[in-house]
Structure 1
Amino acid sequence: MTNRPSLSAARRGLRPLTVMVLAALWVASIGNLALWRGLAALPELGNTRGLLFGLAFALMIGAVHVALSALFAWRWTLKPMLTVVLLAAAAGAYFMLSYGVVIERTMMVNVLLTDSREARELLSWRMAGALLLLGVLPVALLWRTRIAWPTPGRQARNNLFTVVAGLAVAVAAMGLSFQDLSATMRNHTQLRYLINPLNSFYAIAILGQQPIQRNGAAVLPLGEDAHVAPRPADARPPLVLLVVGETARSDHFGLNGYARDTTPELAARGVVSLRNAWSCGTNTAASVPCMFSPLGRVAFNERQDNTEGLADVLQHAGYAVLWLDNQAGGCKGVCDRVPTVDDQALQTPGLCDAEGECLDEVMLNGLDERIAQLPFDRRARGVVVFMHQMGSHGPAYYKRSPKAFKKFEPECTTNALQQCSREQVVNAYDNTIVYTDHVLASDIDWLKAHETNWAPALMYLSDHGESLGENNLYLHGLPYRFAPDVQKHIPWIFWLSPQFQQQSGITQACLGKLRDEKVSQDDYFHTVLGLLGVATRVYQPARDMGVMCRAAG
């Protein structure tokens, strides 16, 4: 008599452990191609010992995945959990292989703060194909697979055994390769952020412990004692444009010695360009809040509370403050308490496309009228306008410059930078610098037209730099401690009208002496306060680049 429960293995389905092992093998091999590429590039691992280390490392990763999967190995949770793992592995593999990025906390912050327009720029048929092959296909196979589930009690015992066995295998693999593993992770720290998709899940966990916003949503006051010293009766109120650039590299500015003349208009206007300036982050979400803080990079990253920033302190001092934002991603919280004009309010025919993205020139459009709407008593003390540019935001560099400023051809006309030659990528990027040069020169010309009634000045610096294919790295956002210099070395430019120089005691000639001195965004907050004559307890003269000029005067 045939025993009906004894059906064929195919009809019963695969055991849960088999499914977990197959998924772990896929993730540890194909899902971690970026890691294996990184290891293969290390000279010290280019031998048989290196191959054995790689195999042991892969075994360790796979065993950890199996152990973690066993925690969710129940009838209604295993497939959904493995779906998340497989899709996360596919997405991580694509971005790490395509752009050379790593995934850690700051990169996860970028992902969470990315708006829909920025996200669309990353979409391509190449990305769709990669996600389909690496993620959707294995997920479809997973859901078509029948799993033979034992009784809940037996599955609980199996899960416990799997967790213990998986961790034991991982520890054994680590022990066999410990010397090479410890040396590699110590000497090449960035590789730990390539372990996919554990890197993404770890980054999310760390973000939960160290959130983007410290101390919940509370924002503590800063510089409420700020004030401006009385001026002579014949002094003109300052009119200052503080331009926050986007993704501009110092070494691609002609002013700073770049072989291409990307900044002819600024050179003609006699600006001062600091050639040794550095950011305090490698992405906007890190750099902008940091530079608007009085703390400096190290203290800012270790802070326990959120506080107000530079824009708030200037407002406390009585200045009329206005923030113009040409980025859908916004100001990362630094403009939340001052008058703001966002990218939607800037929409102007001829300067904005159908998707709502505008060229940076749009921020000058109607600026006089916007300033006139600010409180009269504040305008009488002075006006400070922050301009947050679209600048050289990638990967669609070709969108950031109008046709008249495409000086270097051919340029890359896709957001899939890997499909273009490096020359085309650099051409598209350099065209954004040419356009930025024009925008800043136009800002200066606008300021010059207001010299009769105001004491105008402009200061420009970028939030961070950019990788353009060097060592197969693109874009930005690598952890600061091992990010290449091109992601941290930024342009910093001053233009001061004669009236502003006379009233502030800070001359361009004096600032020019700092041309090759190392400065950083740690100095930004205090330098702005010094330029505008703001006194407050949070001001630190040692971080004010203009203090030596006033002393000399």
Structure 2
Amino acid sequence: MLSDSTALRAPAAARPLGPVTRRTASLHPPRAWSPTTLALLAAAWLAAVANWPLWRAIAALPEMGGARGLLFGLAMCLIVAALTALPLLLFAWRPLLKPVVAIFLLVAAVAAHFMGSYGVLVDSSMLRNVMQTDVREAGALLSLPLLLNLLLVAGLPIVWLWRQPLRAVAGRRLALSNLAAGAAALGLALALTLLAFQSLSGTMRNHKSLRYLVNPLNSVYALGLLAREAQARPAGPPTPIGLDARALAMPTGARPPLVLLVVGETARADHFSLNGYPRPTNPELARFTDLVSFGRVQSCGTSTAASLPCMFSSLDRSAFLDRAQDSENLLDLLQRAGLAVLWLDNQSGCKGLCDRVPHASTSEPTPGRTSAPAALCRAGECLDEALLYDLDARLAALDPQRRARGTVLVLHQMGSHGPAYGERSPAASKPFQPECRSNVLQDCSNADLVNAFDNSIVYTDLVLGRAIAWLQGHAQSFDAALLYVSDHGESLGENGLYLHGMPYAIAPQAQKQVPMILWTSPAARASLALDGACVEHGRDAALSHDHLFHTVLGLARVRATEYRRELDALAACRGSGG
């Protein structure tokens, strides 16, 4: 029996083991990670790599030289890593961790590119602007540096992350692990903050922009603020305004008012030669002697999404930001007063302002007529002259009974929208050469960048000149006026800042001081009893977007409870009949 048993076991013992051993070794699974560990690793990567704009900004501070700066930077990095770990640990579960980390990495990579390349800071206003950006605007921001940043900061770690197996951990045990790691991270952040409090508080107080560079926690915080704002205001239609709105009786011999309100985009007041800029950026408007340029006008925000709703509101900036619910706007009130209203857009939309009034886009033809010619529109984007194309037909299509009381046409420009400033003007309107033709602004010299921007101002000047000429052609039917005002300004590399959207409290004047221009026909001045010399004398008065709502009501000869004479920029220059 022993020999039989040995005989039965012998083949197995004699079987060659080398190949099987190698094959078995090759089938060993890679190391499985605890979700808690991977969340902490992701937080460390985000803090160290995705925050390169923050570390660059800290390194550039004059007080951060030597060992002190190194220790401060190390403490900041550990604090950022610890705080970043806290939200990631909430999602450190097998089904959730990888998608959530991937989202964090992508958001951080995009934010890092724009913060590092353009000096953009992320707050709730900037995030709101991003959410309202259309495909056309987003396409203009695509660049090789953005793609490289996405690849290095987000792409490679996402590929590595997706290849890592996650260990199956019992739910209670994993919850305790995540809780312990979160408590440790919070304790580390608090301990380091206390140890470095004097240096940390002083640096953050003197350099407020640093807090907006903490990536991606700045985006998470901004998103939370937006969500809170959305929930704080009641759902449903906006609160009606102008319930007693009425058109004033026209003086004897007067015609219905026709107000052309041109909303500029990204124009800087200090780049208008009408305001003293040494370059001839306003050759067309300079020909009109009955025109006034107001040189000290402050915007309501530093982005279109922030400024447009605010400047058309009946509330001043402070009250608008603190409002408990949304209300109707200037266009609603004008329409309720019986006037004809039309919003014509050559941008990414009216941000909800024109939803309840007639509106159209330059990419849409006038009903029954042709669209703008190919020379003005290509690839879904139009030059601003398209706003004037077929404007007679658009005016004629409005309700004639309303036109008899008055008309307000709003033209929303593409203006000087960046970063592709060179695309905002045609070849015939580029007097300043060479100009920057890249959307990677750092690839251009500052002189070429300013040339491209100034060419866009020259083109806006041409469009406004032709708009006034169009109004003059309707002098027999209307008392005409043009009011132009930009939504916000733009940074052109000053102090390393580009584009716009900085938090308002720390934004430079370049992003907040905007041009405002008024032209009135002789008949309009007469019917409004407007003293031209008085208006000219007030060109240097301190004005803001707060004045727009009330000034337009004054020009359109409309009154309502919401009208405030002290915020009508022309009220002091009108006689009793105006």
Q: Which moved more, 1:383-392 or 1:149-158?
A: 149-158
- Distance of 2:75 and 2:280 partners within structure 1: 51
- Distance of 2:546 and 2:92 partners within structure 1: 49
- Aligned counterpart in structure 2 of residue 205 of structure 1, from 182, 200, 224: 224
- Aligned counterpart in structure 2 of residue 253 of structure 1, from 243, 265, 272: 272
Q: Quick check: which has more Rg, 1 or 2?
A: 2
Task: Give the 3-state SS of the residue equivalent to 2:410 in structure 1.
Answer: strand
- Distance of 1:325 and 1:165 partners within structure 2: 53
**Hey, what does 1:295 align to over in structure 2?**
315
Once the two structures are superposed, the pairs formed by residues 355-370 of structure 1 within 5 Å of their partners are: 355-370=379-394
**Hey, what does 1:537 align to over in structure 2?**
561
Once the two structures are superposed, residues 222-253 of structure 1 have per-residue CA deviations (whole angstroms, 9 ceiling, x without a partner) of: 11211122223421111211111111000000
**Hey, what does 2:41 align to over in structure 1?**
22
Q: Which runs of 4+ in 1 moved over 4 A?
A: 5-10
Q: Residues 495 and 508 of structure 1 are in contact (CA less than 8 Å); yes or no, is this contact kept in structure 2? A: no
- Distance of 1:128 and 1:7 partners within structure 2: 36
**Hey, what does 2:210 align to over in structure 1?**
191
Name the amino acid aligned to 1:395.
P
Q: Is 1:280 matched up with 2:306? A: no
- Distance of 2:409 and 2:228 partners within structure 1: 35
Q: Is 1:452 matched up with 2:471? A: no
Deviation at residue 153 of structure 1 after TM alignment? 3.6
Name the amino acid aligned to 1:394.
G
Q: Residues 281 and 480 of structure 1 are in contact (CA less than 8 Å); yes or no, is this contact kept in structure 2? A: yes
Q: Is 1:163 matched up with 2:182? A: yes
- Aligned counterpart in structure 1 of residue 534 of structure 2, from 510, 520, 545: 510
- Aligned counterpart in structure 2 of residue 89 of structure 1, from 108, 111, 116: 108
Task: Give the 3-state SS of the residue equivalent to 1:11 in structure 2.
Answer: coil
Gaps of 5+ in 2: 1-20, 366-370
Q: Residues 351 and 362 of structure 1 are in contact (CA less than 8 Å); yes or no, is this contact kept in structure 2? A: no
- Distance of 1:160 and 1:299 partners within structure 2: 42
Q: Is 1:42 matched up with 2:61? A: yes
- Distance of 2:570 and 2:224 partners within structure 1: 42
Q: Residues 496 and 507 of structure 1 are in contact (CA less than 8 Å); yes or no, is this contact kept in structure 2? A: no
Q: Which moved more, 1:19-28 or 1:29-38?
A: 19-28
- Distance of 2:259 and 2:320 partners within structure 1: 26
Q: Residues 13 and 145 of structure 1 are in contact (CA less than 8 Å); yes or no, is this contact kept in structure 2? A: yes
Query: CA distance change for structure 1 residues 9 and 33 in 2, over 3 Å: closer, same or farther?
Result: farther
Q: Is 1:304 matched up with 2:305? A: no
**Hey, what does 1:125 align to over in structure 2?**
144
Q: Residues 433 and 451 of structure 2 are in contact (CA less than 8 Å); yes or no, is this contact kept in structure 1? A: yes
Deviation at residue 50 of structure 1 after TM alignment? 2.9
- Distance of 2:168 and 2:194 partners within structure 1: 34
Name the amino acid aligned to 1:155.
L
Deviation at residue 48 of structure 1 after TM alignment? 2.6
**Hey, what does 2:544 align to over in structure 1?**
520
- Distance of 1:551 and 1:49 partners within structure 2: 66
Once the two structures are superposed, residues 55-89 of structure 1 have per-residue CA deviations (whole angstroms, 9 ceiling, x without a partner) of: 11111111122333222222222222211121121
Task: Give the 3-state SS of the residue equivalent to 2:433 in structure 1.
Answer: coil
Q: Residues 241 and 328 of structure 2 are in contact (CA less than 8 Å); yes or no, is this contact kept in structure 1? A: yes
**Hey, what does 1:66 align to over in structure 2?**
85
- Distance of 1:34 and 1:445 partners within structure 2: 48
Task: Give the 3-state SS of the residue equivalent to 2:484 in structure 1.
Answer: strand
Q: Residues 504 and 532 of structure 1 are in contact (CA less than 8 Å); yes or no, is this contact kept in structure 2? A: no
Deviation at residue 9 of structure 1 after TM alignment? 10
**Hey, what does 2:12 align to over in structure 1?**
none
Task: Give the 3-state SS of the residue equivalent to 2:372 in structure 1.
Answer: coil
Q: Which moved more, 1:211-220 or 1:392-401?
A: 211-220
**Hey, what does 1:318 align to over in structure 2?**
338
- Distance of 1:203 and 1:479 partners within structure 2: 11
- Distance of 1:87 and 1:470 partners within structure 2: 28
Q: Residues 213 and 306 of structure 1 are in contact (CA less than 8 Å); yes or no, is this contact kept in structure 2? A: no
Deviation at residue 45 of structure 1 after TM alignment? 2.8
Q: Residues 263 and 412 of structure 2 are in contact (CA less than 8 Å); yes or no, is this contact kept in structure 1? A: yes
Name the amino acid aligned to 1:476.
H
Query: CA distance change for structure 1 residues 132 and 229 in 2, over 3 Å: closer, same or farther?
Result: same
Q: Which moved more, 1:206-215 or 1:101-110?
A: 206-215
- Aligned counterpart in structure 1 of residue 430 of structure 2, from 406, 410, 414: 406
Task: Give the 3-state SS of the residue equivalent to 1:502 in structure 2.
Answer: helix
- TM-score, normalization by structure 2: 0.91
**Hey, what does 1:393 align to over in structure 2?**
417
Q: Residues 149 and 155 of structure 1 are in contact (CA less than 8 Å); yes or no, is this contact kept in structure 2? A: no
Q: Residues 335 and 341 of structure 2 are in contact (CA less than 8 Å); yes or no, is this contact kept in structure 1? A: yes
Identity of aligned residues (%): 51
- Distance of 2:560 and 2:496 partners within structure 1: 46
- Distance of 2:357 and 2:86 partners within structure 1: 51
**Hey, what does 2:355 align to over in structure 1?**
336
- Distance of 2:331 and 2:221 partners within structure 1: 34
Paired residues, number: 549
Deviation at residue 379 of structure 1 after TM alignment? 1.1
Once the two structures are superposed, residues 258-288 of structure 1 have per-residue CA deviations (whole angstroms, 9 ceiling, x without a partner) of: 1110001100112210111110111111111
Q: Is 1:349 matched up with 2:369? A: no
Name the amino acid aligned to 1:77.
L
Deviation at residue 322 of structure 1 after TM alignment? 1.3
- TM-score, normalization by structure 1: 0.95
- Distance of 2:243 and 2:114 partners within structure 1: 44
Deviation at residue 44 of structure 1 after TM alignment? 2.8
Task: Give the 3-state SS of the residue equivalent to 2:263 in structure 1.
Answer: strand
- Aligned counterpart in structure 1 of residue 239 of structure 2, from 220, 243, 260: 220
Q: Which moved more, 1:433-442 or 1:301-310?
A: 301-310
- Distance of 1:305 and 1:204 partners within structure 2: 19
Once the two structures are superposed, the pairs formed by residues 409-488 of structure 1 within 5 Å of their partners are: 409-488=433-512
Query: CA distance change for structure 1 residues 453 and 67 in 2, over 3 Å: closer, same or farther?
Result: closer
Q: Which moved more, 1:120-129 or 1:439-448?
A: 120-129
Q: Residues 55 and 73 of structure 2 are in contact (CA less than 8 Å); yes or no, is this contact kept in structure 1? A: yes
Query: CA distance change for structure 1 residues 112 and 535 in 2, over 3 Å: closer, same or farther?
Result: same
Once the two structures are superposed, residues 186-228 of structure 1 have per-residue CA deviations (whole angstroms, 9 ceiling, x without a partner) of: 2322211110001111111110001399422421111121112
The CA RMSD over aligned residues, in Å, is 2.1
Q: Residues 362 and 387 of structure 2 are in contact (CA less than 8 Å); yes or no, is this contact kept in structure 1? A: no
Q: Residues 247 and 393 of structure 1 are in contact (CA less than 8 Å); yes or no, is this contact kept in structure 2? A: yes
- Distance of 2:222 and 2:420 partners within structure 1: 27
Gaps of 5+ in 1: none
Query: CA distance change for structure 1 residues 132 and 157 in 2, over 3 Å: closer, same or farther?
Result: same
- Distance of 2:494 and 2:576 partners within structure 1: 43
